[in-house]
Chains A and B, each alone.
Chain A
Amino acid sequence: MTRTTSRRAVPAASNAPRSRRGSPPGPVRVASGQGFWGDDLEAPVRQVNGGHIDYLMLDYLAEVTMSIMQKQRARDPRAGYARDFVPLMERIFPACVERGIRVVTNAGGVNPAECATAVAEAGRRAGAGGRARIGVVTGDDLMDRLDELLASGHSLGHMETGRPLAGIRDRVRSANVYLGARPIVAALAGGATVVVTGRSTDTALTYGPMAWEFGWPRDAWDLLASGVVAGHINECGAQASGGNCSAEWWSIPDLAGVGFPIVEASPDGSFVVTKHRGSGGAVNLRTVKEQILYEMGDPSSYITPDVVADFTTIRLEDEGRDRVGVHGVRGGPPTPFLKVSVAYSAGYKAVGTLVYTWPDAVAKARAAARILRERLDRLGLTFERVLVELVGWDATHGHLAGDPPADLPEVQLRVGVRGTERAPVERFTREVAPLVLTGPPSVTGFAGGRPRVQEIVAYWPALIDRRAVEPGVAVDMVEV
């Protein structure tokens, strides 16, 4: 393959605008094509073909995704990234090259370099050879540096509990720092038409392109904060355009062909949330507000590597059908820290289910749960936690669901166990099916076989001094 590597650190602090556009720049359309690894595979294709866009952002990473990828890389040094991204690029490469659409994604997972290699091959198969350049962002993966960092005084204590990482060091599976927009801007400045990162913040995939296009200085806090809001709206795909909307959900049209959100950004930071004409779903004040509130902490302090955004300053405006304007966002300087996402092995769990039917479905399911627990006790099995839920009655709303209706037609008994040792959890998985012949009657729904024992890979959020990370962040270029 033709790989021209121009490895270099991200350009040092510079407040000089570095935009690719002449002035006055017009709006830039950043389309959301993927809200998580496993999202609608056709959505990015619809975004590319459904109308004009300048950028396609694809978010593939959740907190646990990195540890899954780490496991895949351990088995195969060429794996460890969002594989769906490669066939997707093969499909959309011709259109992207033809129309100058740039793709920005965190699909690189724990192996951005191999991801880029695979994408470059896909690009050549798709006839994009010599017409595209992949910018590869690395430096977020701290796994190989962990002991060095701990030894030099970075405790990586748990953000909530304060416990030091040393206590679980031997069980750590992955450690990645959330990088912001700067390496993405550097990649775009280097002519990348596809930017592949590892653990970038989800929001940076949207405001990185905005910062580059408009040449926003790195201390333009309000502009960057506005970009963060745009990123937050884009990062969960259709959740901003009618999907999972609790406000009169039945009134949202054509979710089968839901249009994913598009941020139409202006140089002054303001933007319009919209979607392609003719696509399904809806973009209105309700759908946008719901996404703004999603996974929100303290809204006045939304911390990112580049800026702290104040979501209480957002002004929304109904700008007509499927258009919501966003103005007035304020922000302030970022903290001296970056967030680290550590994944570690934290025991085992299994969940078993059975379905009990009328009459007295709830009473039967409860009796079965009692019998099961007694058998586990008699076997001398102990667990850190046993959870019994009745799906169809109280599994999600608990006592708020009230008393079960007397004639409830059916209920699913769902029993979960968790423990530090594998063996008791393994034995539990063999105790569920016997209830069918040895417990209360009118039971079914066990065709799936024994429950599966799952290793728990838990999430450990920590902070690190950004000076320990930033010098190691780099952008490579891979020619397609």
Chain B
Amino acid sequence: MAEVRLVELAHARSGDKGDIANVGLMVYDEEDYPIILKMVTSDRVKKHFKGLVKGPVERFELDNLHAVNFLLHGALDGGGTVSLMTDAQGKVFSTALLRMKIEVPDEVAERVRGRGRYPGGGAGDSR
């Protein structure tokens, strides 16, 4: 087994509904969908966002799109116009989730290594 970041397996988009941020997570390769289902549970996501998400985390599966949708309750300091946060509309919780590290079989790690990051390099490595 090897460790990869979600950014290498999946892409994501997030948005808001009141004080809830949603993150839609979609795999690049359909074959990796079961890995996401198994490894990226709502408990795991709740732990990942500890301190950033005050309420519960819900997960909904869209097998048809090989995607999962997370609802992060109490993530936006009241949300919308009330929130003082830079990301008051939850636009970049997506990339915050893509930081997550998960264990995958070696051959998967080899296949996906380095994907999801700008190939021109740029500043710094991933933390």
Contacts and interface: CB of A to CB of B under 8 A. Distances in A.
Interface of A: 63-64, 160, 244-248, 250, 286, 289-300, 311-316, 346, 349, 351, 385, 387, 389, 391, 395-402, 405, 414, 416-418, 456-459, 461
B87 interface: yes
Contacts of A292: 24, 65
B28 A385 contact: no
Contacts, number: 135
Interface in B10-51: 11-13, 15-20, 22, 24-26, 28, 48-51
Contact of A385 (B13, B48, B84, B99): B84
Q: Is the interface of A mostly helix, strand, loop or mixed?
A: mixed
Given A295-B16, A314-B65, A389-B85, A64 B26 contact: no
A349 B84 contact: yes
Interface residues of B, number: 50
B126 to A, nearest CB: 10
Nearest to B12: A246
B82 A456 contact: yes
A266 B31 CA distance: 32
Given A250-B118, A293-B13, A295-B15, A396 B87 contact: yes
A302 to B, nearest CB: 11
Given A246-B13, A292-B65, A399 B85 contact: no
B13 to A, nearest CB: 4
Contact of B86 (A313, A346, A414): A414
Nearest to A397: B96
B67 A289 contact: yes
Contacts of B64: 312-316
A418 B82 contact: yes
10 contacts: A64-B81, A246-B12, A290-B26, A292-B65, A293-B67, A294-B24, A316-B64, A398-B52, A399-B50, A402-B127
B22 A296 contact: yes
B3 interface: no
A397 B92 contact: yes
A313 to B, nearest CB: 7
Contacts of A417: 84
B17 A295 contact: yes
Contacts of A399: 50-52
Nearest to B115: A248
A295 B71 CA distance: 10
Contacts of B50: 399
A381 B9 CA distance: 48
A477 to B, nearest CB: 36
Contact of A397 (B63, B77, B99): B99
A143 to B, nearest CB: 18
A395 B86 contact: yes
Contacts of A291: 13
A371 to B, nearest CB: 19
A346 B18 CA distance: 14
A203 B118 CA distance: 34
Given A290-B13, A297-B71, 9 more contacts: A299-B62, A312-B63, A314-B62, A316-B65, A349-B82, A400-B52, A402-B127, A456-B82, A458-B81
Contacts of A315: 64
Contacts of B49: 400
B81 A459 contact: yes
B51 A405 contact: no
B86 A247 contact: no
